[in-house]
Structure 1
Amino acid sequence: MKVVYHLGVHCTDERRLVTCLRANAEALAAKGLIVPDPEVYRPMLRNVVNAMKGKPSTPETEETILDAVMVQDEAERIVFSNDAFLCVRSWVLGRGTLYVAAGDKVAGLVNLLPSHEAEIALAIRNPATFLPALFQASKNASFDDFLGGADPLGLSWADVIGRIRAANPTVPITLWCDEDTPLIWPEVLRAVAGAPADLALEGENDLLAGIMSAEGMARFDAYLNNHPGLTASQRRRIVAAFLDKYALADQIEMELDLPNWDEALIEELSERYDDDLEEIAAMPGVTVLTP
C-alpha cells in the first residue's frame, strides 16, 4: 500500500484538499483509495512519532494505526493530511530557517508505517506573500518579532525540499505552487489521491467559487456543461480566462503593508522563488505539478 503524507504547508491548503477528498470518500474507496478523517489520526500519529523517537514502528504499532483508520480490509493508497506535520505554525521560522526540522519530521512520518511505501505531497508559496500571511495568522505584535531574526532573503524552499530528500532519499515528492492552485486544482486532487483522470470529484470547483464572482461561477459551470470532455490544458485556459474577467480582487490580491516590505524586496523574493522552483524541479524523485 502507498501512504501519502500531505504536508500542507501552512497558509496554502487551509484544509481544502482533505475536505474535497473526504467529500468523495465513498467514490475513492471504491477505487481502493482511502482518505480517513483527520480528527481520527492526527493526535494518534503525533503521539506515535513522539513515542518512537526516530525509530520505525513495530508491526504491532503499524497494525494499531491501520486498524484505526482503515474503513475497508484492503486499500491501494491512503492519504494523511496535516499542515502541522512539519511543525506548528509558530515554529515555521525556527532558528531563522524555513521548516528547519523538515527532513527529520518527514523521516518520522515515513517510519510510522515502514512496511508500506511512503509519498510526500505539498504546496509551496512565494515568500513575498507567504511570510506576510504567516504573520497575519500569528500572535506576534510586530513583524520583526515574527521574523525572530530570520532574513527573508535567506529563506529557501529548495533548501527545505533538499533536506527532505537528503533524509528520505527513496521517498517521492509531489509538489506544486500555491499560486498555480486555481489553475491545476483537479490535477492536484487526483495526484494526491491517486485517482484516475476520468473519476469525477464532487466539489472540485469549490476552490474557484471562493475566488470568483457568483456570476462568473454560473457562467463557468454552464461552459463546462456545454463543453464536456475538456482536456486538462483546455480547462486551465478556460479557468484563466474566467478568472481574468470574474476574479474577486480581495480574494486573489494581498495588501502587503509591512515595514520595509517594498517593491524591490518583493521582486527579489519572487526572483529567488523562481530560482528555487527551477532547482526543485531538477531534483531526483520530485514531481512538480505546473499549469
Structure 2
Amino acid sequence: MTVRIHVGAHKTASTELQYAIRSVRNELAGQGLGFLGPSALRSQRLPLSRAIRGDQNLAAEPLRAKLRYWLSSHEDHLISEENILGTTSRGEMFGGDDVLYPGAEDRLARTLELLGKPEVELFLAIRDPATFVTSAYGQQLRSGALVDVSTYVRGVKVRSLDWTGLIERLLGCEGVSRVVCWRLEDHTQVRGRVLARLLGPERAALVPPATLRHRGVSEKAYRYFMKTALEDMETPVQTLLRDAQKRHPRLEGEPSMRLLHHRTYRSSLVNYDAQAGRIAGMERVEFLRPQNPPVPPV
C-alpha cells in the first residue's frame, strides 16, 4: 500500500493539478488508486480540514473510520489538500523568525493520526516568497478579507520566508519517508514528472493537459478594487473584487499585481534561488528540476 499526500503549497498550481486529477478519478480508481481532494476533504461528509484545525465540535472517530475504510478500499492512495499546511490567513501563513505555515507539522501529524499513521511521501511545490505572498494576499481578498497588504505582511521579512525550514519540519513528522519538491516556476516543464510520481507513469497518462485556473488579480484590477472598496462600504468585498477583475482581467502572459517594494522582489528571488539549492541537497528530498534537452552531436 502506498499513501502520497500533496500538501500544496497554496498558489503553486495546486488547483490545476487537483482539477485535472479529479476529472479522471473514476478511471484512476479502476486502476487501483483512490483520490481525495479539497472538494471531498472540506465537505460535511469528510471534514478533514475542520478536524486538523482542532474543531472541538467535530467528533473525530467517524472521520477516522471513514478514512481508514477508504485506505482499505484501494491499493494506492493520493490525498491533495493544501490546507493541511494551514490557510492563507496571516496567522496561519506567517510565524516568528520568518517561519512559513507555523502550524504545519501539527496539522500534518493530526492528519497522519486520523489515517492510522501510515508511511507517506509528501509532495510540495514552492514559489518565490515575494510573488507567493502577493498571490496569497490576493486569495485573502477573494475570501472577503478586506485588509491592506502592509497589514498582511507587517513584521514579516518576505524575502527571508523559509521553505527550507518548512520542509525540515515536515520531514520530522513520524511516518514521513520523503518529500518530493519542485518550483512553481518550473511547473510547465515538470508537470508530467510530478504526475508520474504522484500517480505512477501509466496512470499519469490518463490525466488531461493543463488548463489555467485562478488567473490572479491584475495590477489594474487591484487598484480599481481598492478605490471602490474605500468608496462603497455596503457591497461585499468578493463582489467588488469580481467586478474589478471583470473590468480589468489578467490576460495570459500578463504579470500579476506587484504590491511590495521592488527591492523586496529582487532580494526575494536571490534568496529563493539559494533556498532551492539547499533544498535540492537535503536528505530524503527529491527535487524535480526541468530536464535539459539533449545536446546534438557536433
Scaled by the length of structure 1, the TM-score of the pair is: 0.72
Indicate which of 135, 139, 146 corresponds to 2:137: 135
How far 1:141 sits from its partner (Å)?
Answer: 3.0
Give the counterpart letter for 2:13 in structure 1: D
Give runs of aligned pairs for residues 230-245 of structure 1, distance below 5 A.
none
In the alignment, which residue of structure 2 is the partner of 1:98?
A: 100
Name which of structure 1's ranges 22-31 and 197-206 shifts more when overlaid on structure 2: 197-206
| Cα pair 1:124 1:175 within 8 Å, conserved | yes
CA gap of 1:162–1:252, structure 2 versus 1, over 3 A, is farther
| Cα pair 2:109 2:173 within 8 Å, conserved | yes
In the alignment, which residue of structure 2 is the partner of 1:31?
A: 31
Deviations 1:83-139 (A, max 9, x none): 211112102124453111222222222222235322211211111211111222223
Are 2:207 and 1:206 aligned?
A: no
In the alignment, which residue of structure 1 is the partner of 2:229?
A: none
Q: How many residues align?
A: 244
Indicate which of 121, 124, 128 corresponds to 1:122: 124
In the alignment, which residue of structure 2 is the partner of 1:144?
A: 150
Unpaired runs of 5+ residues, structure 2, are 216-249, 291-298
Deviations 1:18-43 (A, max 9, x none): 21112122332232111135433335
State the Cα RMSD in Å. Answer: 3.1
How far 1:255 sits from its partner (Å)?
Answer: 4.3
- State the SS of the aligned residue for 2:36: coil
Are 2:49 and 1:46 aligned?
A: yes
Supply the distance in 2 between the matched residues of 1:190 and 1:183 (Cα, whole angstroms). Answer: 13
Supply the distance in 1 between the matched residues of 2:130 and 2:163 (Cα, whole angstroms). Answer: 12
Scaled by the length of structure 2, the TM-score of the pair is: 0.71
| Cα pair 1:170 1:285 within 8 Å, conserved | no
Supply the distance in 1 between the matched residues of 2:105 and 2:18 (Cα, whole angstroms). Answer: 23
Give the counterpart letter for 2:106 in structure 1: D
Are 2:88 and 1:89 aligned?
A: yes
CA gap of 1:134–1:170, structure 2 versus 1, over 3 A, is closer
Unpaired runs of 5+ residues, structure 1, are 211-248
| Identical columns (%) | 25
Deviations 1:133-157 (A, max 9, x none): 1222223432210103111133111
Supply the distance in 1 between the matched residues of 2:178 and 2:172 (Cα, whole angstroms). Answer: 12
| Cα pair 2:170 2:176 within 8 Å, conserved | no
Are 2:290 and 1:288 aligned?
A: no
Give the counterpart letter for 1:105 in structure 2: R
In the alignment, which residue of structure 1 is the partner of 2:168?
A: 162
In the alignment, which residue of structure 1 is the partner of 2:236?
A: none
